[in-house]
Structure 1
Protein backbone atom coordinates (compact mmCIF):
# COMPACT_ATOMS: atom_id res chain seq x y z
CA UNK A 1 0.00 0.00 0.00
CA UNK A 2 1.28 3.47 -0.81
CA UNK A 3 2.31 5.80 1.96
CA UNK A 4 -0.63 7.70 3.31
CA UNK A 5 -0.09 10.92 5.13
CA UNK A 6 -0.10 10.54 8.88
CA UNK A 7 -0.68 14.26 9.43
CA UNK A 8 -2.36 16.04 6.53
CA UNK A 9 -5.21 14.53 4.59
CA UNK A 10 -7.08 16.07 1.74
CA UNK A 11 -9.36 18.35 3.73
CA UNK A 12 -12.93 17.40 4.36
CA UNK A 13 -15.05 14.31 4.09
CA UNK A 14 -16.54 14.45 0.63
CA UNK A 15 -20.32 14.42 0.34
CA UNK A 16 -19.93 13.39 -3.28
CA UNK A 17 -17.31 11.84 -5.47
CA UNK A 18 -17.04 10.67 -9.06
CA UNK A 19 -19.72 8.32 -10.42
CA UNK A 20 -18.98 4.67 -9.70
CA UNK A 21 -17.17 5.34 -6.41
CA UNK A 22 -18.55 5.81 -2.92
CA UNK A 23 -17.63 8.95 -0.94
CA UNK A 24 -15.47 6.81 1.36
CA UNK A 25 -13.59 5.40 -1.65
CA UNK A 26 -13.16 8.94 -2.99
CA UNK A 27 -11.80 10.02 0.39
CA UNK A 28 -9.39 7.07 0.44
CA UNK A 29 -7.98 7.92 -2.98
CA UNK A 30 -7.86 11.64 -2.14
CA UNK A 31 -5.81 10.89 1.00
CA UNK A 32 -3.39 8.81 -1.05
CA UNK A 33 -3.16 11.62 -3.62
CA UNK A 34 -2.55 14.22 -0.91
CA UNK A 35 0.72 12.43 -0.15
CA UNK A 36 1.64 12.52 -3.85
CA UNK A 37 0.73 16.23 -3.99
CA UNK A 38 3.06 16.90 -1.08
CA UNK A 39 5.86 14.90 -2.73
CA UNK A 40 5.48 16.58 -6.12
CA UNK A 41 5.33 20.07 -4.59
CA UNK A 42 8.44 19.29 -2.57
CA UNK A 43 10.16 17.89 -5.68
CA UNK A 44 9.54 20.91 -7.91
CA UNK A 45 10.79 23.24 -5.16
CA UNK A 46 13.85 21.03 -4.63
CA UNK A 47 14.61 21.01 -8.36
CA UNK A 48 14.40 24.81 -8.43
CA UNK A 49 16.70 24.98 -5.39
CA UNK A 50 19.26 22.86 -7.25
CA UNK A 51 18.81 25.01 -10.37
CA UNK A 52 19.79 28.09 -8.29
CA UNK A 53 22.66 26.44 -6.39
CA UNK A 54 24.46 24.35 -8.99
CA UNK A 55 28.02 25.44 -9.90
CA UNK A 56 31.05 24.11 -11.74
CA UNK A 57 32.02 22.98 -15.22
CA UNK A 58 28.65 21.37 -15.99
CA UNK A 59 26.69 24.32 -14.61
CA UNK A 60 24.88 25.45 -17.73
CA UNK A 61 23.84 22.00 -18.96
CA UNK A 62 22.42 21.00 -15.56
CA UNK A 63 20.93 24.46 -14.89
CA UNK A 64 19.06 24.32 -18.21
CA UNK A 65 18.13 20.64 -17.86
CA UNK A 66 16.29 21.29 -14.60
CA UNK A 67 13.87 24.07 -15.60
CA UNK A 68 11.73 21.85 -17.87
CA UNK A 69 11.64 19.28 -15.06
CA UNK A 70 10.49 21.98 -12.61
CA UNK A 71 7.70 23.01 -14.98
CA UNK A 72 6.59 19.43 -15.67
CA UNK A 73 6.58 18.43 -12.00
CA UNK A 74 4.67 21.60 -11.07
CA UNK A 75 2.07 20.64 -13.69
CA UNK A 76 1.90 17.11 -12.20
CA UNK A 77 1.19 18.64 -8.77
CA UNK A 78 -1.59 20.75 -10.27
CA UNK A 79 -3.11 17.70 -11.96
CA UNK A 80 -3.03 15.73 -8.69
CA UNK A 81 -4.63 18.64 -6.79
CA UNK A 82 -7.39 18.88 -9.38
CA UNK A 83 -8.01 15.13 -9.15
CA UNK A 84 -8.37 15.46 -5.36
CA UNK A 85 -10.97 18.19 -5.92
CA UNK A 86 -12.72 16.07 -8.56
CA UNK A 87 -13.00 13.29 -6.00
CA UNK A 88 -14.88 15.73 -3.73
CA UNK A 89 -12.09 16.54 -1.27
CA UNK A 90 -10.03 19.69 -0.83
CA UNK A 91 -6.34 19.56 -1.81
CA UNK A 92 -3.98 21.05 0.75
CA UNK A 93 -0.96 22.88 -0.65
CA UNK A 94 0.04 25.37 2.02
CA UNK A 95 3.72 25.46 3.02
CA UNK A 96 3.02 24.45 6.63
CA UNK A 97 0.89 21.49 5.57
CA UNK A 98 3.53 20.34 3.10
CA UNK A 99 6.24 20.39 5.77
CA UNK A 100 3.97 18.69 8.32
CA UNK A 101 2.94 16.00 5.81
CA UNK A 102 6.43 14.95 4.76
CA UNK A 103 7.92 11.79 6.18
CA UNK A 104 11.28 12.59 4.58
CA UNK A 105 13.93 15.17 5.42
CA UNK A 106 14.38 18.47 3.64
CA UNK A 107 16.89 18.50 0.77
CA UNK A 108 20.22 18.98 2.50
CA UNK A 109 22.64 20.23 -0.18
CA UNK A 110 23.26 23.95 -0.74
CA UNK A 111 25.75 25.41 -3.20
CA UNK A 112 27.57 22.48 -4.81
CA UNK A 113 28.94 21.18 -8.08
CA UNK A 114 26.61 19.91 -10.77
CA UNK A 115 27.63 16.27 -10.41
CA UNK A 116 27.33 16.45 -6.63
CA UNK A 117 23.78 17.81 -6.86
CA UNK A 118 22.87 15.18 -9.42
CA UNK A 119 24.11 12.50 -7.03
CA UNK A 120 21.71 13.78 -4.38
CA UNK A 121 18.87 14.16 -6.91
CA UNK A 122 19.30 10.50 -7.84
CA UNK A 123 18.12 9.59 -4.33
CA UNK A 124 15.33 12.17 -4.38
CA UNK A 125 13.93 10.83 -7.65
CA UNK A 126 14.27 7.24 -6.40
CA UNK A 127 12.07 8.04 -3.40
CA UNK A 128 9.41 9.91 -5.37
CA UNK A 129 9.20 7.25 -8.09
CA UNK A 130 9.08 4.38 -5.59
CA UNK A 131 6.16 6.01 -3.77
CA UNK A 132 4.39 6.83 -7.04
CA UNK A 133 4.64 3.16 -8.02
CA UNK A 134 3.16 2.17 -4.64
CA UNK A 135 0.26 4.56 -5.27
CA UNK A 136 -0.22 2.97 -8.71
CA UNK A 137 -0.56 -0.44 -7.09
CA UNK A 138 -2.95 0.89 -4.43
CA UNK A 139 -5.32 2.40 -7.01
CA UNK A 140 -5.39 -0.53 -9.44
CA UNK A 141 -8.86 -1.73 -8.48
CA UNK A 142 -10.08 1.27 -6.49
CA UNK A 143 -9.70 3.98 -9.15
CA UNK A 144 -8.23 3.16 -12.58
CA UNK A 145 -8.59 6.82 -13.66
CA UNK A 146 -6.28 7.97 -10.86
CA UNK A 147 -4.01 5.01 -11.58
CA UNK A 148 -3.73 6.03 -15.23
CA UNK A 149 -2.79 9.58 -14.19
CA UNK A 150 -0.11 8.26 -11.83
CA UNK A 151 1.26 5.90 -14.50
CA UNK A 152 1.69 8.78 -16.94
CA UNK A 153 3.41 10.86 -14.29
CA UNK A 154 5.70 7.99 -13.35
CA UNK A 155 6.81 7.59 -16.95
CA UNK A 156 7.87 11.24 -17.05
CA UNK A 157 9.52 11.08 -13.61
CA UNK A 158 11.46 7.98 -14.65
CA UNK A 159 12.69 9.76 -17.77
CA UNK A 160 13.86 12.75 -15.68
CA UNK A 161 15.59 10.29 -13.36
CA UNK A 162 17.37 8.78 -16.35
CA UNK A 163 18.56 12.27 -17.36
CA UNK A 164 20.06 12.66 -13.87
CA UNK A 165 21.56 9.18 -13.75
CA UNK A 166 23.16 9.50 -17.19
CA UNK A 167 25.54 12.04 -15.64
CA UNK A 168 26.46 9.59 -12.86
CA UNK A 169 26.81 6.43 -14.94
CA UNK A 170 30.00 4.86 -16.22
CA UNK A 171 30.19 3.31 -19.68
CA UNK A 172 29.95 -0.04 -17.89
CA UNK A 173 26.60 0.95 -16.37
CA UNK A 174 27.75 1.56 -12.80
CA UNK A 175 26.54 4.58 -10.85
CA UNK A 176 29.11 6.68 -9.03
CA UNK A 177 26.59 6.96 -6.17
CA UNK A 178 26.06 3.21 -5.81
CA UNK A 179 25.33 2.24 -2.22
CA UNK A 180 24.68 5.79 -1.01
CA UNK A 181 21.71 6.06 1.34
CA UNK A 182 21.84 9.77 2.18
CA UNK A 183 22.08 12.86 0.01
CA UNK A 184 25.41 13.76 1.62
CA UNK A 185 26.84 10.30 0.86
CA UNK A 186 25.59 10.50 -2.72
CA UNK A 187 27.10 13.96 -3.11
CA UNK A 188 30.46 12.81 -1.74
CA UNK A 189 30.58 9.70 -3.94
CA UNK A 190 29.59 11.58 -7.08
CA UNK A 191 32.18 14.27 -6.34
CA UNK A 192 34.93 11.74 -5.61
CA UNK A 193 34.26 9.95 -8.89
CA UNK A 194 34.33 13.27 -10.79
CA UNK A 195 37.62 14.28 -9.17
CA UNK A 196 39.25 10.93 -9.97
CA UNK A 197 38.16 11.00 -13.62
Structure 2
Protein backbone atom coordinates (compact mmCIF):
# COMPACT_ATOMS: atom_id res chain seq x y z
CA UNK A 1 0.00 0.00 0.00
CA UNK A 2 1.45 3.43 -0.90
CA UNK A 3 2.37 5.72 1.96
CA UNK A 4 -0.46 7.82 3.38
CA UNK A 5 0.11 11.57 3.38
CA UNK A 6 -2.35 12.37 6.15
CA UNK A 7 -3.74 9.86 8.57
CA UNK A 8 -3.83 9.01 12.22
CA UNK A 9 -5.46 5.69 11.39
CA UNK A 10 -3.87 2.30 11.93
CA UNK A 11 -3.15 0.14 8.87
CA UNK A 12 -6.14 -2.16 9.42
CA UNK A 13 -8.58 0.77 9.64
CA UNK A 14 -7.01 2.47 6.61
CA UNK A 15 -7.28 -0.71 4.53
CA UNK A 16 -10.94 -1.22 5.48
CA UNK A 17 -11.71 2.44 4.82
CA UNK A 18 -10.01 2.42 1.41
CA UNK A 19 -12.00 -0.68 0.42
CA UNK A 20 -15.21 0.99 1.59
CA UNK A 21 -14.40 4.17 -0.34
CA UNK A 22 -13.70 2.25 -3.54
CA UNK A 23 -16.90 0.22 -3.23
CA UNK A 24 -19.00 3.35 -3.02
CA UNK A 25 -16.90 5.11 -5.68
CA UNK A 26 -18.08 2.51 -8.18
CA UNK A 27 -21.70 3.16 -7.28
CA UNK A 28 -21.41 6.96 -7.46
CA UNK A 29 -19.66 6.80 -10.84
CA UNK A 30 -22.31 4.36 -12.06
CA UNK A 31 -25.07 6.71 -10.87
CA UNK A 32 -23.41 9.66 -12.63
CA UNK A 33 -23.33 7.68 -15.87
CA UNK A 34 -27.01 6.73 -15.47
CA UNK A 35 -27.84 10.43 -15.08
CA UNK A 36 -25.93 11.22 -18.28
CA UNK A 37 -27.70 8.36 -20.10
CA UNK A 38 -31.03 9.92 -19.13
CA UNK A 39 -29.78 13.43 -20.00
CA UNK A 40 -28.80 12.35 -23.51
CA UNK A 41 -31.91 10.31 -24.30
CA UNK A 42 -34.98 11.61 -22.50
CA UNK A 43 -37.88 13.04 -24.49
CA UNK A 44 -41.24 14.40 -23.54
CA UNK A 45 -43.08 17.32 -22.07
CA UNK A 46 -40.77 19.36 -19.82
CA UNK A 47 -37.68 18.00 -21.55
CA UNK A 48 -35.45 21.06 -21.42
CA UNK A 49 -35.77 21.68 -17.68
CA UNK A 50 -34.98 18.08 -16.78
CA UNK A 51 -32.26 17.85 -19.44
CA UNK A 52 -30.45 20.89 -18.00
CA UNK A 53 -30.98 19.75 -14.41
CA UNK A 54 -29.44 16.36 -15.13
CA UNK A 55 -26.26 18.01 -16.39
CA UNK A 56 -25.95 19.82 -13.06
CA UNK A 57 -26.70 16.63 -11.12
CA UNK A 58 -24.04 14.71 -13.06
CA UNK A 59 -21.52 17.46 -12.24
CA UNK A 60 -22.31 17.17 -8.53
CA UNK A 61 -22.00 13.38 -8.66
CA UNK A 62 -18.60 13.75 -10.31
CA UNK A 63 -17.58 16.12 -7.50
CA UNK A 64 -18.70 13.49 -4.99
CA UNK A 65 -16.75 10.79 -6.78
CA UNK A 66 -13.68 13.06 -6.70
CA UNK A 67 -13.99 13.49 -2.93
CA UNK A 68 -14.34 9.74 -2.44
CA UNK A 69 -11.44 8.88 -4.75
CA UNK A 70 -9.14 11.54 -3.34
CA UNK A 71 -9.78 10.37 0.21
CA UNK A 72 -8.80 6.82 -0.76
CA UNK A 73 -5.53 8.15 -2.15
CA UNK A 74 -4.90 10.42 0.86
CA UNK A 75 -5.19 7.33 3.05
CA UNK A 76 -2.51 5.59 0.99
CA UNK A 77 -4.72 3.61 -1.34
CA UNK A 78 -5.48 3.61 -5.02
CA UNK A 79 -8.72 5.08 -6.37
CA UNK A 80 -10.28 2.38 -8.53
CA UNK A 81 -12.56 4.31 -10.88
CA UNK A 82 -11.94 3.06 -14.42
CA UNK A 83 -14.91 2.02 -16.51
CA UNK A 84 -13.73 -1.59 -16.32
CA UNK A 85 -13.55 -1.57 -12.52
CA UNK A 86 -16.86 0.28 -12.16
CA UNK A 87 -18.61 -2.16 -14.52
CA UNK A 88 -17.34 -5.06 -12.45
CA UNK A 89 -17.75 -3.57 -8.97
CA UNK A 90 -20.92 -1.47 -9.00
CA UNK A 91 -23.85 -2.76 -7.01
CA UNK A 92 -26.30 -0.44 -8.77
CA UNK A 93 -28.90 -2.06 -11.03
CA UNK A 94 -28.05 -1.59 -14.71
CA UNK A 95 -29.68 1.47 -16.24
CA UNK A 96 -32.17 0.94 -19.12
CA UNK A 97 -30.22 2.21 -22.14
CA UNK A 98 -33.12 2.00 -24.60
CA UNK A 99 -35.46 4.26 -22.59
CA UNK A 100 -36.52 7.66 -23.97
CA UNK A 101 -39.66 8.60 -22.02
CA UNK A 102 -38.97 11.42 -19.55
CA UNK A 103 -41.18 10.02 -16.79
CA UNK A 104 -39.68 6.54 -17.19
CA UNK A 105 -36.21 8.05 -16.83
CA UNK A 106 -37.29 9.91 -13.71
CA UNK A 107 -38.64 6.68 -12.19
CA UNK A 108 -35.47 4.76 -13.10
CA UNK A 109 -33.26 7.49 -11.67
CA UNK A 110 -35.33 7.76 -8.48
CA UNK A 111 -34.96 4.02 -7.88
CA UNK A 112 -31.19 4.20 -8.33
CA UNK A 113 -30.76 7.37 -6.27
CA UNK A 114 -32.64 5.72 -3.39
CA UNK A 115 -30.51 2.58 -3.68
CA UNK A 116 -27.15 4.35 -3.89
CA UNK A 117 -28.17 6.83 -1.19
CA UNK A 118 -28.98 3.96 1.17
CA UNK A 119 -25.61 2.35 0.45
CA UNK A 120 -23.81 5.64 1.06
CA UNK A 121 -25.60 6.02 4.42
CA UNK A 122 -24.67 2.44 5.33
CA UNK A 123 -21.06 3.24 4.38
CA UNK A 124 -21.15 6.26 6.73
CA UNK A 125 -22.26 3.97 9.56
CA UNK A 126 -19.57 1.44 8.66
CA UNK A 127 -16.89 4.15 8.58
CA UNK A 128 -18.01 5.21 12.06
CA UNK A 129 -17.89 1.59 13.25
CA UNK A 130 -14.31 1.13 12.02
CA UNK A 131 -13.21 4.43 13.54
CA UNK A 132 -12.87 6.84 10.61
CA UNK A 133 -15.04 9.84 11.41
CA UNK A 134 -13.61 11.85 8.49
CA UNK A 135 -14.86 9.29 5.97
CA UNK A 136 -18.13 9.06 7.89
CA UNK A 137 -18.53 12.84 7.40
CA UNK A 138 -17.60 12.56 3.73
CA UNK A 139 -20.27 9.92 3.14
CA UNK A 140 -22.85 11.99 5.05
CA UNK A 141 -22.09 14.95 2.78
CA UNK A 142 -22.44 12.78 -0.33
CA UNK A 143 -25.67 11.30 1.02
CA UNK A 144 -27.19 14.74 1.55
CA UNK A 145 -26.36 15.75 -2.01
CA UNK A 146 -27.76 12.52 -3.46
CA UNK A 147 -31.01 13.00 -1.51
CA UNK A 148 -31.27 16.64 -2.59
CA UNK A 149 -30.66 15.82 -6.26
CA UNK A 150 -33.18 12.98 -6.15
CA UNK A 151 -35.72 15.46 -4.81
CA UNK A 152 -34.81 18.02 -7.51
CA UNK A 153 -35.27 15.43 -10.25
CA UNK A 154 -38.62 14.28 -8.88
CA UNK A 155 -39.92 17.79 -8.21
CA UNK A 156 -38.92 19.07 -11.64
CA UNK A 157 -40.38 16.10 -13.49
CA UNK A 158 -43.62 16.28 -11.50
CA UNK A 159 -44.26 19.61 -13.20
CA UNK A 160 -43.28 18.33 -16.66
How many residue pairs end up in the alignment? 159
Report the CA distance between 1:24 and its aligned residue.
1.6
Structure 2 counterpart of 1:131: 119
Q: TM-score, normalised by structure 1?
A: 0.74
Cα displacement string for residues 9-57 of structure 1 (whole angstroms, at most 9, x for unaligned residues): xxxx355474321112101000001011101111111111100000011
Q: Is the 8 A contact 1:17 1:26 kept in 2?
A: no
Return the match for 1:118 from 97, 106, 111.
106
The unaligned stretches of length 5 or more in structure 1 are 1-12, 171-193
What CA distance in whole angstroms lies between the structure 2 residues aligned with 1:121 and 1:164? 8
Q: Deviations over 1:114-171 (max 9, x none)?
A: 111101111010111000000011111411111111111111110011112325769x
CA contact (8 A) 1:51 1:66 kept: yes
Query: Which structure would you say has the larger Rg?
Result: 1
Considering only aligned residues, what root-mean-square deviation do their CA atoms show, in Å? 2.0
Stretches of structure 2 that go unaligned for 5 or more consecutive residues are none
Give the structure 2 partner of residue 52 of structure 1. 40
Shift of 1:87: 0.7
* TM-score normalised by structure 2 residue count: 0.91
